[in-house]
Structure 1
Amino acid sequence: MSGALYVVSTPIGNLEDITQRALRVLADVEVVAAEDTRRSGQLLDALGIRARLVSCHDHNEGERSTQLVAQMQAGASVALISDAGTPLVSDPGFRLVRACQQAGVPVVPVPGASAVLAALAVAGLPTDRFLFEGFLPNKGSVRDEALRNILANRATSVLFEAPHRLLSLLESIEAAGAGEREITLCRELTKRFETVIRDSVTGLRQRVANDPDQQRGEVVLVLAGAPPEAAGDAELIPLAKLLLEELPASRAARILAAYSGRKRQEVYEWLGRL
């Protein structure tokens, strides 16, 4: 157990999801590096583990990595955990892992619970290929661009969203012309009020709007991939933007329809959403 970093998955809700290996590692290491020491302290107390906790989050990871690597080079063992689930999945830790690798310190995965994989397992959507997007940008053109890229991808997409922005995200997907796309809401996975709802984007938006309880807790969305014709939109976007800079939308639509083999009216409506 000496001189290594253990990347340890912890439960996303149900404490019974901790692995026997994770329990042993957390009990044996000299230091546990945690995103939020108060929250992780409560988890370790519930598991009956006494450990020396240090913070490792977005604001101190660079400095903390230097300190922890020095300790590991001196023979200490360190476990890295996040607030819940698998570290580095939309959580800090990348800099620490890379610093260990650059210093020749072994990095050992201790796998376990993951909200991404749990949601995929119950979503009822294809999982042979999937795109993990995490949290989208909060607003503006960057968010719009990220959403367009997701909707153009043929793979199933997994997204995290804050509960108070869930309805707004569903409205944005619907407004982008994907209201009939299948989507699964996975809320509070492994917890008391776990909810899994599969519907169309429009249907889910209506259900969420009518049930405030669905706008609470931890949220994972699993969105069906684009049909073949929609997936081709991503390739047309650069050309479409160039044409719109020089031509009215009607003429740009005529050119793009001839180029892509799509119906002119369909292309015209698509241009209106760019």
Structure 2
Amino acid sequence: MTEMHSGLLTIIATPIGNLEDLSPRAGQAIAGASLILVEDRRHAQRLFQHLGVQPKTMALHEHNERALAPQIAQRIAAGEQIALLSDAGMPLISDPGFPLLALLREQQLPVTIIPGPNAAVAALSLSGLPSDRFSFEGFLPAKAGARRARLAVLQSESRTMIFYEAPHRIVATITDMAELWGRNRPAALCRELTKIYEECIRDSLGGLLERLSQQPDKVRGEMTLILGGAPEQDPGEQEADRWLAPLLEELPLTQAVRIAEAQSGMAHRLLYRRALALTSGREPA
């Protein structure tokens, strides 16, 4: 009888601020692993010191994860117990790890998970916005044009949306959202979750911009932005928006409407009305 390998990858959620949020099972798994995959060794060291362990580590990040995945898979196949951590929260959620997981799945190697802290879900719970249906959008593109194009695609999204954003881009991102979707869209900006200066500001997009301009000290720390979904639309309006959104990012309104009408066969009056709604408050293309 052939003996099966006992190798395993364990995905472990780590604290997003307060180290006491690490579960006992997560601590045991970290202490017992033969290798810990981390984003940043220096960042992980704080957690290891808290646990009183000094495990062997390997840096795994967006610049090397594809190259290292075969090597890691080979070690798991050989019987090693390996753990995957991100700097904070749940690995693979806007963090490295997907190429490795895809390869392990392809090779039918075992993977398990120890769940725990996650900034997106924590912020959603704090936000006071509907949480029965939501969409996690992660980080938006850093460049303004690409960011606005992504937001335009989400114009008709009726679910509550969750975004991560860097402090130095948060004002620009909220400004784009307010221009595209209106200043009255309900939102919540959560920062420093589980830390001493934890804060969740519940307001409209316009209200958030006013607060951030008046209190620039709020523009710091890890940020999660929760945004109320768009009002439910008529299916015809949703279809019109899907045709128009990418065109309006590149073309004047009348030209975008003309092309959308020719390609979709939809009524000119509907397309023109939705184009006006989509571009309300924006600079002309």
Q: TM-score scaled by structure 1?
A: 0.89
SS of the aligned residue for 1:165 comes to helix
Q: Which residue of 1 aligns with 2:150?
A: 146
Alpha-carbon shift at residue 227 of structure 1 (Å):
0.8
Q: Does 1:120 align with 2:124?
A: yes
CA distance in 2, matches of 1:271, 1:235: 16
Offset at 1:230?
A: 8.8
Alignment correspondent of 2:224 = 220
> How far apart, in 1, do the equivalents of 2:34 and 2:218 lie?
41
In 2, the alpha carbon distance for the partners of 1:48 and 1:154 equals: 46
Distance 2:6 2:78 in 1: 9
Measure, in 2, the Cα distance between the counterparts of 1:180 and 1:230.
21
* Aligned mates of 1:136, 1:232 — CA distance in 2: 27
d(CA) in 2 for partners of 1:46 and 1:70? 31
Q: Residue in 2 aligned with 1:48?
A: 52
Partner of 1:270: 278
Match of 1:244 in 2: 254
1:193 to 191, 194, 197: 197
Gap regions ≥5 residues in structure 2: none
Verify the 8 A CA contact 2:240 2:270 in the aligned structure 1: no
**Aligned positions of 1:5-16 closer than 5 A:** 5-16=9-20
Out of 188, 210, 220, which is 2:214 matched to?
Answer: 210
Mapped partners of 1:208, 1:69: distance in 2: 46
How many residues in Structure 1 have an aligned counterpart in Structure 2?
Answer: 268
Which 5+ residue runs of structure 1 have no aligned equivalent?
none
Q: Aligned pair in 2 of structure 1 residues 230, 52: CA closer, same or farther (>3 Å)? A: farther
Structure-to-structure mapping, 1:74-223, within 5 angstroms: 74-223=78-227
Distance 1:105 1:117 in 2: 29
Following superposition, the deviation at residue 43 of structure 1 comes to: 1.5
Query: Does the 8 A contact of 2:17 with 2:193 survive in 1?
Result: yes
SS state at 2:25 partner: helix
Return the TM-score normalized by structure 2.
0.85
Match 1:259 to one of 263, 270, 282? 270
Q: Which amino acid aligns with 2:278?
A: W
Letter in 2 for 1:216: R
Amino acid at match of 1:158: I
After superposition, what is the alpha-carbon deviation per residue over 1:125-176, rounded to whole angstroms, capped at 9, x for unaligned? 1111111111100124321111112232000000001111111111111111
2 CA distance for matches of 1:217 and 1:80?
24
Give a deviation string over 1:94-136, Cα, whole Å, max 9, x none.
Answer: 0111121222210101100000110111110111111111110
- Which structure is higher in helix share? 1
| Contact 1:182/1:224 (<8 A) preserved | yes
Structure 1 residues 200-245: Cα deviation after superposition (integer angstroms, max 9, x where no partner) = 1101110011111210000000000001249965421355449832
- Of 203-212 and 96-105, more deviation after overlay is shown by 96-105
- Aligned equivalents of 1:30, 1:232: Cα separation in 2: 56
